[in-house]
Amino acid sequence: MIKVHELSKTYEYYEKKLGIKGSMKNIFNRKKLLKKAVKSLSFEIDNGEFVAFLGPNGSGKTTTMKMLSGILYPSSGNATVMGYIPWERKRAFKLGFSIVMGQKSQLWTDLPANEVLYFNKCIYEINDKAYNDTLNELTELLDVKHLLEIQVRRLSLGERMKMELVAALLHKPSLLLLDEPSIGLDLVSQIKIQEFLRYYNEINRTTILLTSHNIKDIETTCQRAIAINDGSLIYDGELSRINSINEEHKIVRIKAASVITEGLYTRYENSKKINDYSFEFRVPKIDVKTAIDSIMKLVEVEDLNIEDIPLEEGIKKLYEVNHH
């Protein structure tokens, strides 16, 4: 579905001095600066995959998305999406994908949602039956059918994002590019969109590339992650392995039958007291059994939990280790 080889994008911009004097100097002597947003990026994504595209702010995620959708031309390298070179912007290519950007709406806010969606129907030349069937299916899945006649500007942020997804999927694209789709949404709206995207991917085998700083978006939908930092690839593999590449640890949470002493929990590295009866600590996966055995000799354990390190910590460490 997507093949990216040595893709790079460099922006040119100019330094601007403060005030009128600085502006006059700029007219005659502007200092040109270069920003390498994406650096020799290479990866492939197969049909039907749901992939998280990770990276801190300014890492080049959105720039890459814009090149894959044909909005931007690369400075060097090449890419094919659905067999097409994106920046050639051929009609068949544009009919085959959709891009949804959480910070930029594609809906006309002064019109009711049904008119905006009908306008999209005309642009993509969808026949009446296919349009009505798809519209009914999507609005039922996202629970927005009762909002179709309401002016877009009157919708809440969550309702508007659901309508954005309806508009993006009306023509049944093979590829869906999602850039921060849950930004600013409440918890209920986030969960609804996560469930919808996972279901839609499973049923339709639509390839989805998702960027998000919301870890739950990623954990509940994606199995694979591609991570970049400073425009360069730093990880490409299973989402579940991100923690394991940085010395896999476990969190052990203990609830004792009696009040715990300071000497008990401070003997373990990265330990933290939760309350008078509970504490937690981190330990390498291979040492979990030994640690638990030693605790049970020192105190009566009422409850015990062993958990993975939170994914966001593994991602954060990945960024830190690979920061240029």
> For residue 78, what pLDDT band results from cuts at 50, 70 and 90?
very high
Q: For residue 79, give the H/E element and its range.
A: strand 76-81
178 falls within a domain: yes
Provide the pLDDT for residue 245.
Answer: 63
Q: What is the domain range of residue 259?
A: 249-308
213 falls within a domain: yes
> For residue 322, what pLDDT band results from cuts at 50, 70 and 90?
low
Q: For residue 114, give the H/E element and its range.
A: helix 113-123
Provide the pLDDT for residue 13.
Answer: 75
106 falls within a domain: yes
Together in a domain, 164 and 186 = yes
15 falls within a domain: yes
Most confident of 40-44, 186-190, 252-256: 40-44
Look at residue 270 and give its three-state secondary structure: coil
317 falls within a domain: no
Q: How far apart are CA 211 and CA 48, in angstroms?
A: 17
Reported as a single tens digit per residue, the pLDDT across 89-108 is 999 999 999 988 877 778 88
Q: State if pTM tops 0.75.
A: yes
Provide the pLDDT for residue 48.
Answer: 93
Q: For residue 77, give the H/E element and its range.
A: strand 76-81
Together in a domain, 22 and 113 = yes
**What percentage of the chain carries pLDDT values higher than 70?**
95
Provide the pLDDT for residue 188.
Answer: 87
Contact 301, 255 (CB under 8 A): yes
**Pairing mode, if any, of strands 76-81 and 2-14?**
antiparallel
Provide the pLDDT for residue 247.
Answer: 61
Report the number of distinct structural domains present in the chain: 2
Provide the pLDDT for residue 7.
Answer: 93
Together in a domain, 106 and 20 = yes
Provide the pLDDT for residue 298.
Answer: 79
Together in a domain, 31 and 106 = yes
Together in a domain, 283 and 176 = no
CA distances in angstroms from 296 to 268, 305, 319, listed in the order given: 14, 14, 37
Provide the pLDDT for residue 47.
Answer: 93
63 falls within a domain: yes
Mean pLDDT in residue range 2-21: 84
Which of 241, 276, 297 terminates a domain? The answer is 241
Reported as a single tens digit per residue, the pLDDT across 255-297 is 888 887 777 767 776 777 888 888 888 888 788 888 888 888 8
> For residue 9, what pLDDT band results from cuts at 50, 70 and 90?
very high
Taking all residues of the chain, what is their mean pLDDT, rounded to a whole number? Answer: 85
Together in a domain, 196 and 261 = no
> The domain spanning residue 51 has which CATH number?
3.40.50.300
User: Quick check: 231 pLDDT over 80?
Assistant: yes
Reported as a single tens digit per residue, the pLDDT across 182-228 is 887 888 888 888 999 999 999 999 999 998 888 888 888 888 999 88
Together in a domain, 6 and 152 = yes
Mean pLDDT in residue range 25-36: 77
> The domain spanning residue 284 has which CATH number?
3.30.70.1560
**What percentage of the chain carries pLDDT values higher than 90?**
37
Reported as a single tens digit per residue, the pLDDT across 125-173 is 999 999 999 999 999 998 899 999 999 899 888 888 899 999 999 999 9
Together in a domain, 234 and 255 = no
Query: Would you call 112 exposed, middle or buried from its count of C-beta atoms within 10 A (0-12, 13-18, 19+)?
Result: middle
